[in-house]
A and B are shown apart, each in its own frame.
Chain A
Amino acid sequence: MNLYIETSWGSVNKYGEELCGDKVEILKKGEDTFIVLADGLGSGVKANILASLTSKIAITMLSEGAGVQDVIETMASTLPVCKERQIAYSTFSFIHIKHNGETHLVEFDNPDTVILRDGKALFLPREEYVVSGKKIRETHITLKPNDFCITFSDGVVHAGVGKLLNLGWEHKNVVEYIEKSYRKESTAFYVQNLLLQACKSLYMDAPGDDTTVAVCKIRTPDIAYVMVGPPLSAEDDEKIVNALINFNGTKIVCGGTTSQIVSRISKRELQIMLNYISPDVPPIGRIEGIDLVTEGVITLGKCYDILKRYESGSIGRDNMLNSKKDGASQLAQMLINKCTGAKFVVGRAINPAHQNPDLPISLNLKLRLVSDIAECLKRLGKTVEIEFY
């Protein structure tokens, strides 16, 4: 089975530094996912260069099939030697996850990567050997859906040093926190962001070191087919609706007229739910076989607001992603938590009412909203496609 690897990463710079001395590269090639996290020696520009070179070289060579030995030798000969310290140095963690979950993990001098299964950290037996004077730790494991792979730089392990915690956070405590805050429906973004928030708080907003977290969540692929708006040409109606009905994934319809078309062609009744959860969001509808039916433009606009709030990382009381049940919230919940990607099928028919200058809605607005939502989802680690009709 082809698994979907949802990825997300984030960084907080050392206090006072403009450039981050940690670098993460993520590459998806075909059915493989490659991730590299590098932590450059020192901080600022030098560290940034070291880390960038390391991660770039590593990801390029690995994705081309090079062996670990080759990669390290190349790095050793490429990295500029620091004049003061007379060494060229950057840590690295390579993660290669195949479409079936087979994972190859290679680490040098970074804190141990954590694999989380059902909320508990797995013990990873690691093989140690030396290449070009570097002590490498390697492991192989097959990951299953809903497993998390969490890798981070030293900044996380030292969070709080000199402030709240004498010895810093310490790896074992970081693992404990990850386990304690685990929630099955968390996205890769959520986990990465929460860890960074905790680090920021422990450092009291003045990190003593560049702090980076990269997270992969293994998921069974679930693409959402989102039909937005009637196609320009009525002849395409049947084609698109059939594609929707027969789609292997989550099925979403956005739009009043659109849902009526779907109802007509699929010969299934469209019911509108009269209970307004939120007076500003139009009610949702129901068609048998469709996962979610909402109104169009207004719902999409509000959904985008929710996605932006989620992305801004204001987790906690400001993030009501999981609790509300109105059309926009349900749409956001589905796109983020349930699905690993979205395929937007956007009809370009113009609703004459929307041309009324009194109303602030238009076709352009709808199209713009869809593309904004798509970009946001991509940044959150989802695969997105848009088709126009």
Chain B
Amino acid sequence: MKQKERCKIIRQERIGTDIYSLWLQTGAIAQAAQPGQFVMLYGTDRSRLLPRPISICQTDGAALRLVYRVAGEGTREFSYLELGHELEVLGPLGNGFPIQEAKGKQVLLLGGGIGIPPMLETAAALGNQATAVLGYRNELFLKEEFEAFCPVSVATEDGSSGVKGNVLDAVREGNLSADMLFACGPLPMLRAVKAYAQEMQIPCWISMEERMACGIGACLGCVCDSTQEDAHLHVHRKRVCKDGPVFLSTEVKL
């Protein structure tokens, strides 16, 4: 039977305003993890019942790296935890990006804001097949780490680094082309990326975010709208936690 794993914190640091990088000691989860999957992280304050879904940023065999943003009290609690403290983790969960399908193809990795972290493991898996385009408000994080794996373009909303604008502005300005798009970021960005992919007729995979309770497909809390009737649910919805979080952009309505 699968179960939650208790994982020791081996490193935690603040890498941006409200952005934290957390390394957890876990052989099983790290080895099973695929780029684009996520884990459920359980807090210790029993007044907060629900685990937080956090995307997997990096693995190194015996450890798992999660880069998350403090968005409320639950994630704030994680940010206070010190070395040696143990956290309960369930995962890896969800489907991840289609790395096999990308074999021999050039892939643009489009990450916006806190959608950037899952793209790092994806960049590591694709290596020189990938070009990363990272969109920030103004403050950069993880950029140098992407550069270890693939070429990187940057866009910032205020123009303080790279291209002024969003990830698609950087794609256009850099004349970046690819056979496939992998994207993760805020909903307006995903909408724009989906439209761009349609215009360019490139297959596009997007990673969605939604509030979750169970994380394993049972509660139907985290559904998104789908263009076709889902084969399992028999309605025009898909479960972000179980059928996703990564979907072909044409499968989902944004």
Q: Do A and B come from one complex?
A: no
